[in-house]
Amino acid sequence: MGLAVGVLKETAPGERRVALVPRALEALASLGLQIWIERGAGIEAGFPDSEYETRGALLAGSADEVREHAQVLLAVQVADSPGLGAQHTVIGLCDALDNPRLAAAIAARGASLFSLDLIPRITRAQSMDVLSSMATVAGYKAVILAAESLPRMFPLLMTAAGTVPPAKVLVLGAGVAGLQAIATARRLGALVSGYDVRAAVKEQVESLGARFVSITLDGAGAEGEGGYAKTLDEEVQRRQRDQLAEVMREQDVIITTAAVPGKRAPLLLTSDMVRVMSPGSVIVDLAAERGGNCELTRPGERAVEFGVIILGPVNLPSSVPYHASQMYARNLVAFLRNLIRDGELRLNLEDEIVRDTLIARNGEVVHTKVQALLETVVHA
């Protein structure tokens, strides 16, 4: 019997995505893999058991049955389980730089662990880039949430009852989520501006029909490893906030997307800055899960401060589970193609993709950054 891959029901609260969609099974079968699916794993994402079965998957009545038959376990959000053992390799999102204890727990069970959060930003790994895929979904959905909450319409309308001016939308952060938010707000007819500490993204913002907001940071280097924005020092952040406050007065919607991997989200909007916005304005903070870009954000909640509506959504991709699962599954299949040769799992530790995503192996945490974080936790 060849290598078996298993998909379990997601157990994280509110998680509706599934790691594999039925359409992905054909690609895995071509790699010589047997696929086990826990019954009901894809229901909330819109994929019934019958579709998996039609495409050749074997259905299991429980998570334990999947773990009994499958050596490779695929997840959206990785969870620890007493059923994990040395025969298992777990692949999924585990936010290892923020939650190193989960990695340590899985390593203690002898299982191997790959964290898709750590896919390197290199050309060869673009088809595996789960974070970019999910950021695309989040950027789109953020605008939909803003449009639903704003007591105004987004587009310019010329009617017999008079002209309705377009809503003004400011997107802070021009990474994948920010650019998708800009594009979506433009499609809805808003007058859109974008800002990022990385001046190099100005052309991308303007190519989507938005105005790039220029803020002087006295030449502070703002681009870090892998093309991500890096954390600015406090003085530079203060100058940034002072200049942003002037721009904010004119905005109906602000969408914040700034995040630095493995660190708390940078504070972009203080309470005093929110105070200058007009009542009924909306802030959507996509960094809510990492502490928020807005001082007044409450993760997972809707707050109203100074008449401004502040949304702190968490796990937005899960709110669009059908397409989010499709995109995630494509990334996962590409990742598996890089690991599997002749129907077997073969780890080339010289491969940058394998090396950067491998967190645990042979009962130990092997990723140097996660090791360092665990040492910090132990000595804290």
Closest CA to 299 of 10, 9, 11, 13: 13
pLDDT band for position 169 (cuts 50, 70, 90) = very high
Evaluate if residue 245 carries a pLDDT over 60: yes
- State residue 376's pLDDT score: 82
Residues 85 and 111 sit within 8 Å (Cβ to Cβ):
yes
Task: State the pLDDT at residue 235.
Answer: 74
Q: Torsion-angle region of residue 363: left (phi > 0), alpha (psi -120 to 50) or beta?
A: left
Compute the average pLDDT of residues 186-214. 94
Mean pLDDT of the chain: 93
Burial letters 315-326, b for 16+ CB under 10 A, else e: bbbbbbbebbbb
Pick the catalytic residue from 49, 55, 132, 237: 132
Active site residue 228: yes
User: Six-digit token pair at 27?
Assistant: 């690609």
pLDDT: is 220 or 238 the higher one? 238
- Arithmetic mean of pLDDT, 138-154: 98
Task: Give 230's pLDDT tier (boundaries 50, 70, 90).
Answer: low
Q: Which of 16, 34, 71, 129 is catalytic?
A: 129
Mean pLDDT to the nearest integer, 291-301: 96
Do the domains at 4-128+321-379 and 135-314 have one common CATH topology? yes
pLDDT at 147: 98
Rounded-to-integer distance, Cα 92 and Cα 74, Å: 6
pLDDT of 243 > 90? The answer is no
For this structure, is 127 an active site residue?
no
Q: Distance (Å, rounded) from C-alpha 154 to C-alpha 146?
A: 10
The whole model's pTM is what? 0.91
The arithmetic mean of pLDDT across residues 239-265, rounded, is 88
Candidates 23, 39, 55, 121; catalytic one: 121
**How far apart (Å, rounded) are the C-alpha atoms in residues 19 and 76?**
5
User: Is the pLDDT at 231 greater than 70, yes or no?
Assistant: no
What mean pLDDT is predicted for residues 38-67? 97
**Which pLDDT does position 23 carry in this prediction?**
96
pLDDT at residue 224 tops 70:
no
Q: Given 126, 207, 271, 278, which residue is catalytic? A: 126
pLDDT of 240 over the 80 cut: no
Question: Is 129 among the residues known to form the active site?
Answer: yes
Please report, for the chain, the start and end positions of each structural domain, with discontinuous segments joined by +: 4-128+321-379, 135-314
Distance CA(247)–CA(193), nearest Å, equals 10
Element (H, E) at 59: strand 58-60
The DSSP result for 248-290, as a single string, is HTT-SEEEE----TTSPPP--B-HHHHHTSPTT-EEEETTGGG
For the residues 245-265, what does the mean pLDDT come to? 90
Residue 33, SS3?
Answer: coil
* pLDDT at position 135: 97
Q: Which CATH number fits domain 4-128+321-379: 3.40.50.720, 3.40.640.10, 3.40.50.2000, 3.40.1260.10?
A: 3.40.50.720
Position 127 confidence tier, pLDDT thresholds 50, 70, 90: very high
Assign domain 135-314 to a CATH class.
alpha beta
Active site residue 132: yes
Give the pair of three-digit tokens for residue 293. Answer: 């870009």
pLDDT of residue 237: 72
In the chain, % of residues over pLDDT 90: 85
**Conformation bin of residue 315: beta by default, left when phi > 0, alpha when psi is -120 to 50:** left
Catalytic residue among 49, 127, 149, 228: 228
Least-confidence region, from 62-76, 190-204, 235-249: 235-249
